[in-house]
Every structure is written in C-alpha cells, then in structure tokens.
Amino acid sequence: MKGIDFEIQPGEVFGLLGPNGAGKTTTVEILEGLRPRTGGEVAVLGFDPDRQRQQLKDRIGVCLQATNLPEKIRVHEAMQVFASFYGRHVDLNKLLQRLQLEEKRDAFYSTLSGGQKQRLALALALINDPQLIFLDEPTTGLDPQVRVEIHSLLEELKREHRTILMTTHYIEEAERLCDRVAIVDEGRIIALDTPARLQQQSRNASSIAVTCATPFPEDRPAWAEAIHSALDCSGRTLTVNSRHPAGTLVDLVKWIDQQGLELTDVSLKQPSLEDVFIELTGKSLRE
C-alpha cells in the first residue's frame, strides 16, 4: 500500500476497482479490523479498527469473498447463530423474505445453489442492521444470470441509501452500482470520481462513427476538437475521436453534406470505465 486516501459519505456506495493483487482486499481488511495496518490513519464509523475492533465489528456487515459455512447447517440456523453474535439484529424472517430465502430456510447449506449461498451471505452481512456494509467481490465466480440477480439486490440496498464499500474487478458492476469509484493499482489510488466524471475526464474521448454510401475522399479537414480520425478498410466508415463530440459531429455532418456524400449511418460512443482503466494503467482488468 503506497497511497490510499479516501473518505466515504453516509449513504454512498463506494467502489474499489482494480485488478487482482492491486490491494483492494488488503484495504478492505484493514478497514474491517481483520488486519493490522503498518502505517497511516484510519477511522471507520469513528472507530479505529485496530483498537476498537469489537465495537466496529458489531456495527458493520461483511460479505467476504472466500468463505464458507458448515455443510449441515440449515439456513435459518446460520441466521440465528450469526444474530447471536451481535448486540442487536433485524427480524430474521423479514430478512429471509427480502432475500428470497424463505423457501430455503430449512435447507442445508451444502444443498444451496451458488446464488442462494451468495444471498445467504448478503443476509448474514445485513443481520445486524449495519451502518456500513463491506462487499468484497460480491459477484465473482457467479453465473451471469445470478450476477444480475445479485445486482438487483444490491441496487435495492443502494435505493435504501445504505453506506456500502465494495470491491470489484467488474467494470460494469462499478458503473451500475457505485456512486464513486476509486481505481486502485499496485497499492495506490490512481483515480477517484463518479463513474460519469471518470469517463469524461478520460483523455480518450468519445468516438463518432459515420458511414456513407460511397468512400470518403482522401484529404479531409481537421475538425475542431477532434483528436484523431481513421477510415476503415472499405473507406466508407470514418471514426473520429473528440473531446466535444456534439460540436465535432455538427462540423462533420456539414462537411459530408458539402462533399455531396450520402450519409447512411451515424453513431456516438461514450468511453467505458474499462477504457478509462486501460488508459490509466495500461493493463486489462480481466486477465
């Protein structure tokens, strides 16, 4: 860890985005009080996780990445046992209902599907009505449709204005769920902002693609704010990158009209977080 410095506001969903080994889990474990820090200052809900571990743990909910429950524990038993660990807990039946685990309340843990296990993990993280929820890679290793299922549950939490710190290496998860995202690489935060602003800040601008019925002429003007343009091999589709795509698009369409070309298609593409990440780190997120 070289430079991690951030603050999470109440009711905010904060994402730590980065590749494996970037330092996300280490950061989260320090915050959860699972791992002592070697330096720096940390306050979580006003507590020092190193020294006020029990108070802190009583107030947070955690959904760990690699964890397990005994095979022969029933869903409702797991809920009861974990409820007994905390100073207070929510109504267990309502929680089961909410996480659609009612039908499975008497099922053994070993008989649950991956999605059900993850829903149970979320239930356990919510059992003490936590002031802060840590979700460490909440959808890693899940099927796409299960991931969608979990996402909708998380969106629900977001709507309740829960304070959540999540780590992920899924860009779309961060885009979809997080209010703010910190991009972590090699133990340091290299960017921190809302997903939208991160996209905007990207030097790598939006791209405009125009397609005509006949090939473009060889010499083309330099449009305002356009960074780069390229023709595809057919010569009929031109891609232009721009920091101000709206203005550039108007200029571009005007020029096509002047040239007497017949415009058949126009598309405008916003940069993704992945693009931002690749641009910032020079690495891919999913190796």
Site residues (vs other proteins, CB under 8 A):
32, 34, 54-55, 57-58, 60, 62, 64, 66-70, 72-73, 77, 80-87, 124
Closer CB to other proteins, 125 or 178, in the complex: 125
Closer CB to other proteins, 83 or 227, in the complex: 83
How far is Cα 104 from Cα 116, in angstroms, rounded to an integer? Answer: 9
Tell me the closest approach of the beta carbon of residue 4 to other proteins, in angstroms: 20
Closer CB to other proteins, 67 or 113, in the complex: 67
Tell me the closest approach of the beta carbon of residue 199 to other proteins, in angstroms: 34
Closer CB to other proteins, 133 or 273, in the complex: 133
Residue type, position 30, single letter:
I
Tell me the closest approach of the beta carbon of residue 58 to other proteins, in angstroms: 4
Alpha helices in 233-272 (DSSP H): 245-259
Tell me the closest approach of the beta carbon of residue 25 to other proteins, in angstroms: 11
DSSP line for 89-125: ---HHHHHHHTT-GGGTTSBGGGS-HHHHHHHHHHHH
Phi, psi of 228 (to 5 degrees): -160, 145
213 burial via Cβ count (<10 Å: 0-12, 13-18, 19+): exposed
Closer CB to other proteins, 19 or 33, in the complex: 33
**How far is residue 49 from each of residues 10, 13, 94, 97, 164, measured CA to CA in Å?**
18, 20, 30, 32, 17
Tell me the closest approach of the beta carbon of residue 68 to other proteins, in angstroms: 4
